[in-house]
């Protein structure tokens, strides 16, 4: 389905033209796509507008090289006036204000015009004036590129680097199911521009600390449980264990994908204690929809093959519950 039509693009262009103060925001625990989409628009708007990026919490070290990343504001109550006085707010890679955590109220209450560009299912209704929401898109950056093109916003080199980062990270280097014709088309148009694509890959994937690398070894050998009968594997980790390896936020990024490298595993889960709650991540191969599991049992949601949730119970209880649910939920895998 084509989500960009002339009426909406004309409306969005007029809002941008008429806006002097613009705020860009994205989901809690920003990833490459959240940062890529906000920083891309920032690097375009900052030449002519009073533009701010405000994010709900910290940026993983892996992405601190991104152009203008050091200009991002991390939310605190003193930033409220930026949202109050903004003419226009963009929700990027973010399907609702609840994904903004402590910023939620201020964002919802702001009188600014609001535009959402996102690829998560079920965008929050009555939040934005204009929605460009497409769950088929591999990355929000894919949509932001098309948006810029249609609105005649010139994608400069800095913005191109940011958009490419979002494409690469949300598609796992163009390998996940979600990677489509449009993804490659956008990538190929970005590749025409003169920036070092392999340098971006090195920044993202070859920048681990020794501790992060050893933590991965530890979870693979000691903390991964495989259930061949259910084509399922999970990894669980307490904060105390992670801290033995000098854990920093972002260090466990991608851990949830590790079990999927096993040929027979179609469904993987990662449970980690953080900030007093258990964060649950789910990934799958093929038709098995993990967002329904995240929604039904783990207070979350997400994409068909990549979703997340949370629990306030102790880690052991969450893991035990997951294991007890396996016969039921994986029946769906085998039925496919
Ligand atoms: Mn995304």
Average pLDDT of the segment spanning 99-105:
96
pLDDT band at 207 (very low <50, low <70, confident <90, very high): confident
Cα separation, 51 vs 54, in Å, equals 10
Q: What is the pLDDT of residue 163?
A: 98
Average pLDDT of the segment spanning 275-292:
92
The helix (run of H) or strand (run of E) holding residue 283 is strand 277-284
For residue 120, the CA-to-ligand 1 centroid distance in Å is: 7
Residues 171 and 313 in one domain: no
Residue 226 lies in a domain: yes
What CATH number did the domain enclosing 314 receive? 3.10.310.30
Q: What is the pLDDT of residue 176?
A: 85
Q: What is the pLDDT of residue 335?
A: 61
Residues 191 and 256 in one domain: no
Residue 104 lies in a domain: yes
Which of 205, 239, 255 finishes a domain? 205
pLDDT band at 165 (very low <50, low <70, confident <90, very high): very high
For residue 34, the CA-to-ligand 1 centroid distance in Å is: 6
For residue 105, the CA-to-ligand 1 centroid distance in Å is: 23
For residue 229, the CA-to-ligand 1 centroid distance in Å is: 32
For residue 222, the CA-to-ligand 1 centroid distance in Å is: 30
Residues 312 and 226 in one domain: yes
The C-alpha R_g of the chain, in whole angstroms, comes to 20
What CATH number did the domain enclosing 136 receive? 3.90.1640.10
In tens, the pLDDT along 288-327 reads 899 999 999 999 999 899 999 999 999 999 999 999 999 9
Residue 21 lies in a domain: yes
Which of 181, 205, 229 finishes a domain? 205
For residue 7, the CA-to-ligand 1 centroid distance in Å is: 25
Residues 252 and 285 in one domain: yes
Residue 15 lies in a domain: yes
Q: Where are the beta strands (DSSP E) in 164-218?
A: none
Average pLDDT of the segment spanning 134-144:
97
- Is the per-residue pLDDT at 333 higher than 70? no
Residues 181 and 115 in one domain: yes
Average pLDDT of the segment spanning 40-59:
97
Residue 1 lies in a domain: no
Which of 205, 234, 254 finishes a domain? 205
For residue 139, the CA-to-ligand 1 centroid distance in Å is: 5
Q: What is the pLDDT of residue 336?
A: 54
Which distant-in-sequence residues (6+ apart) come within 8 Å of 305 by Cβ? 176, 177, 178, 283, 284, 285, 288, 289, 290
The single residue listed with the structure tokens 């929050």 is 124
pLDDT band at 331 (very low <50, low <70, confident <90, very high): confident
Residues 217 and 190 in one domain: no
Q: What DSSP string describes 54-104?
A: EESSPPPGGGTTSTTGGGPEEP-GGGHHHHHH-SEEEEES-SSGGGGGGGH
Residues 196 and 284 in one domain: no
Look at the chain and report how many structural domains it folds into: 2
| Per-residue exposure over 236-266, b if at least 16 CB sit within 10 Å of its own CB, e if not | bbbeebbeebebbebbbbebbbbbbeeeebb
The total of other beta-carbon atoms located within 10 Å of residue 233's CB is 22
Cα separation, 330 vs 192, in Å, equals 44
Average pLDDT of the segment spanning 174-186:
93
In tens, the pLDDT along 140-155 reads 999 999 999 999 999 9
Residues 128 and 229 in one domain: no
| Residues at Cβ < 5 Å from ligand 1 ion | 33, 93, 140, 170
Cα separation, 167 vs 184, in Å, equals 9
For residue 75, the CA-to-ligand 1 centroid distance in Å is: 20
pLDDT band at 126 (very low <50, low <70, confident <90, very high): very high
Residues 228 and 143 in one domain: no
Domain that includes residue 326, residue range:
210-335
Cα separation, 142 vs 186, in Å, equals 6
Q: What is the pLDDT of residue 118?
A: 98
Residues 23 and 116 in one domain: yes
Residues 227 and 199 in one domain: no
Residues 25 and 159 in one domain: yes
pLDDT band at 128 (very low <50, low <70, confident <90, very high): very high
Residue 308 lies in a domain: yes
In tens, the pLDDT along 227-250 reads 999 999 999 999 999 999 999 888
């Amino acid at each position: 389905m084509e989500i960009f039509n002339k009426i909406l693009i004309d409306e969005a262009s007029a809002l941008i033209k008429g806006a002097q103060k613009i705020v860009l925001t994205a989901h809690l625990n920003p990833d490459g796509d959240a940062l890529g989409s906000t920083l891309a628009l920032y690097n375009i708007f900052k030449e002519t507008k009073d533009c701010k990026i405000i994010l709900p919490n910290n940026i993983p070290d892996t992405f601190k090289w991104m152009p203008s990343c050091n200009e991002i504001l991390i939310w605190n109550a003193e930033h409220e006036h930026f949202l109050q006085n903004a003419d226009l707010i963009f929700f990027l890679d973010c399907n609702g204000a609840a994904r903004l955590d402590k910023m939620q109220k201020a964002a919802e209450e702001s009188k600014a015009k609001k535009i959402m560009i996102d690829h998560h299912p079920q965008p929050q209704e009555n939040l934005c004036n204009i929605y460009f929401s497409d769950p088929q898109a591999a990355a929000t950056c894919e949509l932001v590129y098309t948006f810029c093109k249609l609105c005649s916003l010139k994608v400069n080199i800095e913005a191109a680097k940011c958009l490419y980062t979002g494409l690469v990270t949300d598609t796992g280097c163009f390998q996940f199911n979600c990677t489509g014709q449009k993804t490659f088309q956008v990538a190929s148009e970005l590749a025409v521009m003169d920036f070092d694509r392999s340098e971006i890959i090195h920044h993202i994937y070859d920048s681990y600390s020794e501790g992060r690398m050893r933590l991965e070894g530890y979870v693979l050998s000691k903390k991964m449980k495989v259930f061949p009968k259910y084509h399922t594997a999970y990894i669980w980790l307490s904060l105390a264990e992670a801290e033995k390896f000098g854990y920093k936020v972002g260090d466990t990024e991608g851990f949830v994908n590790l079990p999927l490298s096993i040929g027979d595993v179609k469904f993987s889960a990662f449970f980690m204690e953080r900030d007093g709650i258990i964060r649950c991540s789910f990934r799958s191969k093929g038709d098995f929809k993990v967002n329904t599991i995240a929604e039904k049992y783990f207070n979350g949601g997400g994409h068909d093959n990549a979703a997340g949730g949370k629990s306030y119970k102790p880690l052991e209880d969450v893991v035990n519950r997951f294991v007890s649910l396996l016969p039921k939920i994986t029946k769906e895998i085998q039925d496919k």
